[in-house]
A and B are shown apart, each in its own frame.
Chain A
C-alpha cells in the first residue's frame, strides 16, 4: 500500500513536468520523509524475519563447514594410520598431544637419570668405569644427572597442574583411580593366564596394569625427588637435619632408583613394547593412536562406551569434549 502511493506521487510529479527548484526540493523532502517512514515500518516488520533467516542460513553454513572439516580430518587420520588404504582400519586417539608430551619428557628424564645413576650405584663394575671415561668424569656425569632431575621435577609439577586444569586431565585421573573392579580384573586375568577361563578381563580406559604403572610413578617421584633434592642441596638440608637423614636419603635414592629401573625395564617395557603382540615397539607413545582391534581387545568397555555415545553425538551438533579418547570413524 505505501509503496503504491509513493509511486503514484512520484509519477504525477514527473508527468506534470513542473521543474522549478522549489517544487523539486519539496518533492524531494516529501519523498525522503515518506521513505524514512516506510523504512521504519519495513524494519519493524522485517527485521525479525531477516535475522531469523540469516541465523538459519549461518547455522546451516557452520554445520556444513564442521561436517566438511570433520570429514577432511577423518580422511587424513585414516590415511595416516592405515598402512594399506583399502583395508583402512579405524583408529582411535588414545593419548593426546599434551599426554604424550608429558610422557616424552618423563621418559627422557628417567633414561638420563638411569644412565647416569646406575654407574654411581654399581661403581665397582667395569662398565661404570667405561661410562665415566666416556662422558668425561664423574663431575660431568653428575651435572647430566641434575639436568635429568630438573626434567623429572618439571614434568611432575606440570602433571599435577594438568590434572587440575585440563578437563582431559581430570577425566584421565578419574579413570586411573583404583577401584574394586581392578582386583576382580586381576583375578580374572590370573584365571585366564592359567587357562581356567577363556575370557580376558574386560578393561575400561585403563587396565589394572596401567594403573599400577601410573601409581608406581607417584611413589617413585616422591622418593626420588625428595631424597634427590636433599642430596643435591646437602649443605642446606644438613642445616636442619642430622647426617643420618642424608644417609637414609642416599640409601633410599639408590635403592628406589634400582627398583624403578627394574620395573621400567622389565614390567613397563614388556607390557607395552616387548610382548609378542607389539614387539619390538608399540607406536602409540609416538602417534597417540591405537587401532580399533586393539581398542576392542584391550579396552572393550571404553570402546563400547564410545560406540554407544556416537549416534547421540551426531544429533547434538557440538560435542567438542576434551576427551583424549575421542572416537573417530
Chain B
C-alpha cells in the first residue's frame, strides 16, 4: 500500500543526517526564513512535492523524501505547518542533523495548540514498546510507526492505519508470524465477514498500554485471559447479537479451571490453553485445538494420558440447562432431594421448638 511505503520511507529516514547535497538546492536562488505559517507547506513542497526526491543513506539504502500534498492535507495535521513538527528545520538548505519528530511537543494534557487533551504517551512509556524504545532498541515502534507520519488520520477514518480494519496489518508489519496465525483465526474471519465487533490485536492486547504477556498487569497475563475474553464473550450486546453463546464464560468460571485460576492457580487451563491464542478456530474446524479429534492432544498438554474419553461430553456445561444432558438431571435430582429433605427436617425442627416453647414452665419428663 502506498500509505505504508510513505511511512516506511519516513521511518527509515531518521536520522535525516547532514544537510542535503548541493545538487538538491542548485535550482533555488534564495534562502528562505521560515516564519511557521501554513504557507510554508508550499515552500517545502517545492522540493518535497517531487515524487522522485530521495536520499541515499550511509547504509546504502535509498529513502524517499516525497511528501504527498493531498495525503498531508487530508490528515489530522492538514492545517499544520511542516515546521510545527519538524521544528529543528530553520533553513534551506537544511543544516545540521535533522531529528525525528517528537509528538510530545503538542500531545500532552493541557497543551495550548488544540491537540487532544490526552496523556497517552505516559502510558506508552510504560508499555512493552516504550520500554524497549527507551532502552535503545531501534526496532521498537514509536508513535509514527503505528500512527503514520504525514498521513495520520483519526482511527475512525477507514483509511487510517489505526482503523480497526487495518490494525492487524499495522501490527503485522513487525509481528509477521503472529499476523499469519491471526489471519486464519475465527476472529479475523468474523471481522472480514462483517462482524465488526470481532477482536483485532488491540482488543486483547491493549493499545498504548500494551504489555508483555508475562507481565501481571497485562490483559493477556495468564490469569487475566478469562476476564479479557469475557469482555466480549460474556456480553450479549457484543457476541450475543451474532448468535454466539455467552454462557461459555460463566461455565468456565464455575469449572475447576475457572475457580482455580480465579483464586490464584497458575497451572490451570485458561481460554487460550484450549482454544489457542492467535489462531483460534471454531470447534467445527478440523484444525481447531478444540475439534473433537484434537481434544485428546489438547487436554493432553496438561492431563497425562488424555484419550478419546475426554471428548465424550460437552466441555462448557451449565447444569441448570437441559443441554447439559445427564448432568442436568443429576443436578435436578439433587435440587429436589435437597429442597424436600430440608423442608421436612426444618418442619420437624420447627414443630419441636413449637412444642417445647408451649411446654415451657412445665416439667421436662413426659
Let me know if A297 and B342 touch, CB within 8 A: no
Q: Which residues of A contact B366 (CB under 8 A)?
A: 198-200, 297
Report the separation of the CA atoms of residues A192 and B366 in the bound assembly, to the nearest whole angstrom. Answer: 10
Q: Produce 1/0 per residue, B344-366, CB < 8 A to A.
A: 01101101111111100000111
Is residue A235 contacting chain B, with contact meaning CB distance below 8 A?
Answer: yes
Interface residues of B in 130-185 (CB under 8 A from A): none
Let me know if A193 and B331 touch, CB within 8 A: no
Let me know if B309 and A239 touch, CB within 8 A: yes
Report the separation of the CA atoms of residues A62 and B61 in the bound assembly, to the nearest whole angstrom. Answer: 117
Please, which residue of chain B has its CB at the minimum distance from the CB of A244?
A: B313
Report the separation of the CA atoms of residues A194 and B351 in the bound assembly, to the nearest whole angstrom. Answer: 7
Please, which residue of chain A has its CB at the minimum distance from the CB of B267?
A: A139
Report the separation of the CA atoms of residues A247 and B330 in the bound assembly, to the nearest whole angstrom. Answer: 10
Q: Is the interface of B mostly helix, strand, loop or mixed?
A: helix
Given A242-B313, A276-B356, A296-B365, also A123-B325 (CB < 8 A): no
Is residue B20 contacting chain A, with contact meaning CB distance below 8 A?
Answer: no
Report the separation of the CA atoms of residues A296 and B363 in the bound assembly, to the nearest whole angstrom. Answer: 13
Is residue B322 contacting chain A, with contact meaning CB distance below 8 A?
Answer: no
Report the separation of the CA atoms of residues A270 and B353 in the bound assembly, to the nearest whole angstrom. Answer: 10
Let me know if B365 and A259 touch, CB within 8 A: no
Chain-A contact segment, one of B1-9, B83-91, B231-239, B332-340: B332-340
> Measured between C-beta atoms, what is the minimum distance from B96 to chain A in Å?
59
> Measured between C-beta atoms, what is the minimum distance from A198 to chain B in Å?
7
Q: Count A interface residues, CB 8 Å.
A: 50
Is residue A313 contacting chain B, with contact meaning CB distance below 8 A?
Answer: no
> Measured between C-beta atoms, what is the minimum distance from B20 to chain A in Å?
64
| CB < 8 Å neighbour of B365 from A190, A234, A297 | A297
Given A238-B309, A266-B349, also A251-B327 (CB < 8 A): yes
Let me know if A193 and B352 touch, CB within 8 A: yes
Given A192-B355, A244-B327, also A259-B309 (CB < 8 A): no
Chain B interface size, as a band, is: 35 or more
Given A193-B355, A241-B309, also A247-B263 (CB < 8 A): no
Given A132-B264, A200-B366, also A251-B330 (CB < 8 A): yes
Report the separation of the CA atoms of residues A234 and B302 in the bound assembly, to the nearest whole angstrom. Answer: 12
| CB < 8 Å neighbour of B364 from A129, A139, A195, A293 | A293
Let me know if B305 and A239 touch, CB within 8 A: yes
Please, which residue of chain B has its CB at the minimum distance from the CB of A120?
A: B259
> Measured between C-beta atoms, what is the minimum distance from B250 to chain A in Å?
10
Most A Cβ at <10 Å: residue of B259, B325, B346, B354: B259
Q: Which residues of A contact B265 (CB under 8 A)?
A: 137-139
Report the separation of the CA atoms of residues A128 and B254 in the bound assembly, to the nearest whole angstrom. Answer: 13
Q: Which residues of A contact B330 (CB under 8 A)?
A: 248, 251-252, 255
Is residue B70 contacting chain A, with contact meaning CB distance below 8 A?
Answer: no
| CB < 8 Å neighbour of A235 from B305, B312, B338 | B305
Is residue B124 contacting chain A, with contact meaning CB distance below 8 A?
Answer: no
Let me know if A243 and B331 touch, CB within 8 A: no
Interface residues of A in 108-154 (CB under 8 A from B): 120, 123-124, 128-129, 132, 137-139, 141
> Measured between C-beta atoms, what is the minimum distance from B311 to chain A in Å?
7
> Measured between C-beta atoms, what is the minimum distance from A241 to chain B in Å?
6
Let me know if B309 and A242 touch, CB within 8 A: yes
Q: Which residues of A contact B57 (CB under 8 A)?
A: none
Let me know if B334 and A244 touch, CB within 8 A: no
| CB < 8 Å neighbour of B331 from A238, A251, A296 | A251
Is residue A267 contacting chain B, with contact meaning CB distance below 8 A?
Answer: yes
Is residue B317 contacting chain A, with contact meaning CB distance below 8 A?
Answer: yes
Q: Produce 1/0 per residue, A179-217, CB < 8 A to B.
A: 000000000001011110011100000000000000000
Q: Which residues of B contact A128 (CB under 8 A)?
A: 263
Q: Which residues of A contact B313 (CB under 8 A)?
A: 242-247
Is residue B310 contacting chain A, with contact meaning CB distance below 8 A?
Answer: yes
Top 6 closest pairs, chain A to chain B, by CB: A244-B313, A255-B334, A242-B312, A193-B351, A138-B263, A137-B264
- Give 30 CB contacts A-B under 8 Å: A138-B263, A139-B265, A192-B355, A193-B351, A193-B352, A193-B355, A194-B355, A195-B355, A234-B303, A238-B303, A238-B309, A244-B313, A246-B313, A247-B326, A251-B330, A251-B334, A252-B330, A255-B334, A259-B341, A259-B342, A263-B341, A266-B342, A266-B346, A267-B348, A275-B352, A276-B356, A277-B364, A293-B364, A293-B365, A297-B365
Binding site for B on A (CB under 8 A): 120, 123-124, 128-129, 132, 137-139, 141, 190, 192-195, 198-200, 234-235, 238-248, 250-252, 255-256, 258-259, 262-263, 266-267, 270-271, 275-277, 293, 296-297
Known pairs A195-B358, A255-B331; list 5 more (Cβ under 8 Å): A137-B265, A139-B264, A243-B312, A244-B314, A271-B349
